[in-house]
Amino acid sequence: MARRGVIRRATDKAKGAVRFGMDRVPSMLRDSVRGDGGAGARQGDLRGAGGVAFGAAWLGHGGVLLRQGGMTILVDPVLSHRIGPRIGGRTIGPGRLSPAPLGVDGLPRVDLVLITHAHFDHLDKPTLERLAGHGTTVVTSRRTRRLIPRGFASVVELHWDGVVEVGGVRVSALRPEHWGGRTAIDVVRGCNSYLIESDDQRTLAPGDTAETGEFESVGPVDLAAFGIGAYEPSEHHHATPEQVWRMFMGMPGARLLPVHHSTFEISGEHVDEPMARLLAAAGEEAERVVRVGPGELWIAPGR
């Protein structure tokens, strides 16, 4: 009976995802063809972040700028106004609900880019093309190297438990509860979370994940940039805010930077719901949640 219940719930979630897609796709295609929606970029400026010892900025959706170990690190940067495949010279997919906080020219010199997986809302080729430079290294998941535009100093593929050192930073790949295909029939690509370690700081960049016990073995971290949105109706692929808080406390983490919410309309929850639910779950510990808007820099206390 228990197994039947699990199967029934999984089936109901899958049906819900299909219904959401069928409701959303027609208007998304119409807006993409017309060029409607999808706000551009504000003239934000984070170039001063290059002098910060340890801090982070949310770039909207899953994108994070991290200053750690004397390096500027970007995780899943997406600064385009629309995400999805390009068809007939147009990007077909959801547009931003509000402008990107800045353009590439508003970033400090980038030393390292971490790509968790190949989904269009995490591996955005137009943004990466603008970031490509001879001094920048890209670390990406298994079988995604060929998706990275040319021009970077090097591109390193990591699979689970793989480790690479770049400058003064050590990057370890962990296994999230997610998948990494670029399309519905693309099932061979990897999907990573990353533990980023320097001399005296530890940061977890989980990327997309459902609830998992994988991060309990990581140990304490100074900062964890968990995705808190896109769970309705896809809880089997994206953790709810309450599940995120449990994972964060299970490591445990000192500070939680909430990402992957209120940027693109790719799920059914209200735009304000993920943050409200996270703060409710945190309760008296809510001061551990880093509350910054897109493009705002958080600097670790005492740094």
Tens of pLDDT, residues 95-149: 999 999 999 999 999 999 999 999 999 999 999 999 998 899 999 999 999 999 9
What does R_g of the chain's alpha carbons equal in angstroms? 18
Name the residue among 207, 231, 204 with its Cα closest to residue 216.
204
Written as six digits, the tokens of 5 are 């219940």
For residue 160, give the DSSP letter. T
Number of alpha carbons in the 13 Å side-chain half-sphere of residue 301: 6
Model pTM score: 0.88
**What is the average per-residue pLDDT within 74-87?**
96
Q: Tokens for 74?
A: 């970007």
What is the DSSP secondary structure assignment for residue 141, as one 8-state letter? E
pLDDT for 1-49, tens place per residue? 444 443 344 344 444 444 444 445 444 444 544 454 555 667 789 999 9
9, 102, 231, 237 from 243: Cα distances, Å? 17, 31, 10, 12
Q: Domains of the chain: which residue ranges?
A: 51-294
Query: Domain 51-294: what homologous superfamily?
Result: Ribonuclease Z/Hydroxyacylglutathione hydrolase-like (3.60.15.10)
Amino acid sitting at position 282: A
Mean pLDDT of 253-259: 98
- pLDDT confidence of residue 303: 61
CA distances in angstroms from 115 to 74, 153, 192, 203, 280, listed in the order given:
9, 15, 8, 15, 30
Quote the CA–CA distance of 235 and 144 in Å, as a whole number: 25
Count of C-beta atoms within a 10 Å radius of residue 86:
12
Q: How far is CA 254 from the centre of its chain?
A: 19
